[in-house]
Structure 1
């Protein structure tokens, strides 16, 4: 009598199935949808209306005047990467650990690789959709002139990929910090807010004190925002950056380092169940 072994789906098919589940859950969650997907779009519109009523703004003598929406677009694009990856995953995984979801998944055939593949695909898909929505609102509704040079879009592409991957891995690593479902948002959201305020999202980076710019340079969001400014602002605005240039080599190096740090921290800290649970 022959016996047929049950075939277990591979890591990639299982991960893609998990990604479909994650995307379905994401778009069914109203609070998550607003605070990680629509929030940058909302803030871009708010700042544009609140501070751009008097027309284009000249940030320094000799620089071209720009719509306020154009000045805020790079920061909001970078904030979207942080919210989609870092904040979303850090809170989501912490909640799944607290409510026992991770414990159940750990006892199933689902491998950690497939689990994280599902999470990262979800972050990538929502990040791309969010960026497309930001660009559409900025260009069509707020009158922001979008880049026309292929080199600028190439810069946008690699900053986007580096930024969202780094944010996702750091979010996975941070998810180990909250010790309960109640503390997840209390731990993660303040970190994200502080980083946004010191990294050129809500405040123009060149208007911050030099010591605060130096502190922000220790974290990846500052470099994401700087890379996005190189895409969406005129070349003349590079004069306002530290060193008087966009320093895209520095952006790539900083995000690459944080990508490796996030990967190592994720591998070290992730557990299906807390050791002291």
Structure 2
């Protein structure tokens, strides 16, 4: 581990003329290499949403397709849960993994060594965001392929649906990553990182309708979920993978994609500000 963390410092000192973006891309290559060497993290991040989708589909899909309300076309249970699992995957790849990883890196002194190099915090952020963006694409592809091949979930054929998927994904993964950087400032040690971050992520997922279908939640809880980014990620994904008639189950009776874009953009800006204000190379007690 020490070799991995020392190598970037030497390289950065030899290339002081690189721009912030170029250094961020260079850092992303290192982050990806390090990520895929952590087999347990890779397995959990990729397998958990797929496993959860499979469990929900088997547990609630024993009677075949589900019709949530009269007048709506029946769909496979896996199709109902797919948008929520995609949103949960964005949260796991971005917020949870980054918050824990950065807190551990700070606690073990890795960030202190990086802080002594020409690498700027912005380049460090870019590297992290590109890393979770790449792994997030792989994870989303795996989830969608699993749903289509195992549970015969019909995939959209309209180009505008996939365009919606693309911008919801980009805004969602970027906002999650920046919020993960900000949240990493909360744990004070390696031991407390997991204990602090995972309960927060679980509560956010529950409120946002990941474990229960969103239309099943009480109205007051749906309103509360509107203050969280996962709800908007999942709503955007529902507009892609569910029939148009299912917009009637949303709180306002429509997909409200403009609201989805605004909410995720606001959370992206909030995450960027919080990440920049709270980020430190050193522990607070150092």
If the length of structure 2 is used for normalisation, what is the TM-score? 0.92
Unaligned runs of 5+ in 1: none
Contact 2:107 2:283 in 1 (8 A): no
Q: Is 1:8 the counterpart of 2:8 in the alignment?
A: no
The answer to whether residue 97 in structure 2 is matched with residue 109 in structure 1 is no
- Kindly state the Cα deviation for residue 6 of structure 1 after the two structures are TM-superposed: 6.0
Q: 1: distance between equivalents of 2:233 and 2:176?
A: 10
RMSD (Å), alpha carbons: 1.4
Structure 2 residue corresponding to 1:173, chosen from 182, 189, 213: 182
Deviation, 1:266, is 0.6
Q: Which residue of 2 aligns with 1:213?
A: 222
Structure 1 residue 19, shift from structure 2 partner: 1.2
Match of 1:129 in 2: 138
* Partners of 1:7 and 1:154 in 2: CA distance: 38
- Deviation for aligned residue 1:50: 2.0
How far is 1:93 from its partner? 0.3
Sort the Cα spacing of 1:257 and 1:7 in 2 relative to 1 into closer, same or farther, 3 A. Answer: closer
Maintained 8 Å contact 2:171/2:268: yes
Query: What does 1:97-246 align with in structure 2 at a 5 Å threshold?
Result: 97-246=106-255
Question: 1:7: Cα distance to partner?
Answer: 4.7
Shifted more, 46-55 versus 203-212: the winner is 46-55
Q: Which runs of 5+ in 2 are unaligned?
A: 1-12
Q: Give the whole-Å Cα distance in 2 for the aligned partners of 1:17 and 1:267.
A: 20
CA contact (8 A) 2:56 2:81 kept: yes
| 1:237-276 aligned within 5 A | 237-276=246-285
Q: Which residue of 2 aligns with 1:43?
A: 52
Partner-residue secondary structure (3-state), 2:74: coil
Per mean C-alpha deviation after superposition, the further-off stretch among 21-30 and 170-179 is 21-30
Q: What number of residue pairs does the alignment pair up?
A: 273
2:188–2:284: 8 Å Cα contact kept in structure 1?
no
Q: Distance in 1 between matches of 2:129 and 2:197?
A: 18
| Structure 1 residues 9-59: Cα deviation after superposition (integer angstroms, max 9, x where no partner) | 513333223212211221221321133222111211221122212211111
Q: CA deviation at 1:140?
A: 1.5
SS of corresponding position for 1:12: helix
TM (norm. structure 1) is 0.95
User: Deviation at 1:109?
Assistant: 2.6
Partner residue, 2:32:
23
**Relative to structure 1, is the Cα distance of residues 250 and 7 closer, same or farther in structure 2, using a 3 angstrom cutoff?**
closer
2:66, 2:74 within 8 Å by CA — same for their partners in 1?
yes
Deviations 1:63-116 (CA, angstroms, capped at 9, x unpaired): 111101100000000001101100011000000000110011111232222222
Aligned to 2:8: none
